[in-house]
């Protein structure tokens, strides 16, 4: 009886050690994947910030003014308001 108990305990301990090694190795692999995803996320955030700045500069009035000068629209016209009588009657 003692012999069977010792063999089962030894077998159980061996299985538990192997399971523990499997869990530790799986944890290491998953942590490496998480680290890679974090690096990719950080690089995407940086790229996104540069693209946001570029879009903001392209949508700004300063950019529109520069483009207007480049295409020869130098003179600015006086604004026309629809509350003036000559436009309200049309």
Q: Residue 61's pLDDT is what?
A: 78
What are the two backbone dihedrals, phi and then psi, of residue 80, each rounded to the nearest 5 degrees?
-110, 130
Mean pLDDT for the stretch of residues 8-25: 96
Mean pLDDT for the stretch of residues 29-40: 97
pLDDT value at 38 more than 70: yes
Q: Residue 88's pLDDT is what?
A: 54
Cβ atoms within 10 A of the Cβ of 43, count? 10
H helices of 1-90, in order, are 2-58, 61-70, 85-88
CB under 8 Å to 57, separation ≥6 — which residues? Answer: 63
Q: Residue 82's pLDDT is what?
A: 64
| Cα 85 to chain centroid, rounded | 53
């Amino acid at each position: 009886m003692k012999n069977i108990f010792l063999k089962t305990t030894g077998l159980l301990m061996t299985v538990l050690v192997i399971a523990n090694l499997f869990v530790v190795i799986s944890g290491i692999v998953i942590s490496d994947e998480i680290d890679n995803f974090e690096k990719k996320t950080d690089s995407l955030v940086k790229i996104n910030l540069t693209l946001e700045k570029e879009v903001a500069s392209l949508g700004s009035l300063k950019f529109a003014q520069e483009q207007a000068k480049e295409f020869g629209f130098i003179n600015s016209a006086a604004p026309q308001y629809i509350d003036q009588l000559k436009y309200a009657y049309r």
